[in-house]
Amino acid sequence: MTSLTGRCMCGAVTWAYSGEVTRNLVCHCADCQRATSSPITAFLGLRRDEVNWTGDINHYESTPNTFRGFCPSCGTRLYFRSDRWPSEIHVHAATLADPGQYRPDAQVLIRSKAKWLDQLPLIPAHDGFQQEPSPRPPAERP
């Protein structure tokens, strides 16, 4: 049995789990890329009825009977759940109390993998930004 906890960025939503981890995956599918604005999504498959949530969660139905939960305060993506896996909820590993401890055991939907990910070991790495951001005029907004 595994005991895990996690939260959103602002802490308005928290979760706790004690039970079996059913999946430990990194997903490369186009849906996850769009939903998370990231080339990959790392998640844990957990028994849906054994996850205890606190706080308000908003949902987006990305496809029929497939929902993506997020914090309405800070926008953190919390999970993915679908009628395809009715007893599971796929919690984003980045929400773990210590996401650095996460260790996936598989990658899925490689056919959608961003091609540039293979080049990461060759790209210069920095502990911070390699240069200071340019000052932006006060009236300019993203």
> Where do the structural domains in the chain lie, given as residue ranges?
2-116
pTM: 0.82
pLDDT in the model for residue 105: 93
Residue ranges of the chain with per-residue pLDDT less than 70: 1, 138-142
pLDDT of residue 127: 84
Which residues in 69-102 are b (16+ Cβ under 10 Å) and which e?
A: bbbeeeebbbbbbbeeeeebbbbbbbbbeeeeeb
CA atoms within 13 A on the CB side of 62: 18
Cα-based distances in Å from 11 to 16, 76, 77, 127, 134: 13, 10, 13, 26, 31
Domain spanning 2-116 has what CATH number? 2.170.150.70
Say what the pLDDT of residue 138 is. Answer: 67
pLDDT at 85: 93
80-91: pLDDT as tens digits: 999 999 999 999
